[in-house]
Amino acid sequence: MKIALGCDHGGFELKEKIRRQLEEDGFEVKDCGCFSTESCDYPVFGEAAARAVASGECERGVVICTTGIGISIAANKVRGIRCAHCADTLEAQLCRQHNNANMMAIGAGFTGPKLALEMVKVFLRTDFEGGRHARRVALMDAIEG
């Protein structure tokens, strides 16, 4: 599975930890930036990661900024993206099972690295349940027009 990663300066250090763990676990990673702690704009990197997922180049994506909020909003502007802002492992699980989220956003200022790494593992290993949830996901996708 190929995973897109994107972050701003507030999420850089956490993104690097996640990237290293994903590579150690055998995932292919597309690092969409940023590449330092120098101040930058999260929409640029959230969009880049989202486009990699929406195009099919990557199966899933993880985006990180200080709160996780702004970068999730930016990612969700890309057609075909369902990016869930998650703060714990249960949210990471349920966004996959019930919402077929293809991206997850994490707030590096609120979520420590140990929890974030576990959230990513849960997000990547959890399947979409389908069933009644498929109807709801289709309704969300139809909003895009």
Catalytic residue ranges: 65, 98
| Residues 96/108, Cβ–Cβ less than 8 Å | no
Q: How many residues does the chain have?
A: 145
Give the separation between CA 50 and CA 101, rounded to whole angstroms: 12
Give the separation between CA 87 and CA 36, rounded to whole angstroms: 24
Q: How, if at all, do strands 2-7 and 28-31 pair?
A: parallel
Give the separation between CA 92 and CA 98, rounded to whole angstroms: 10
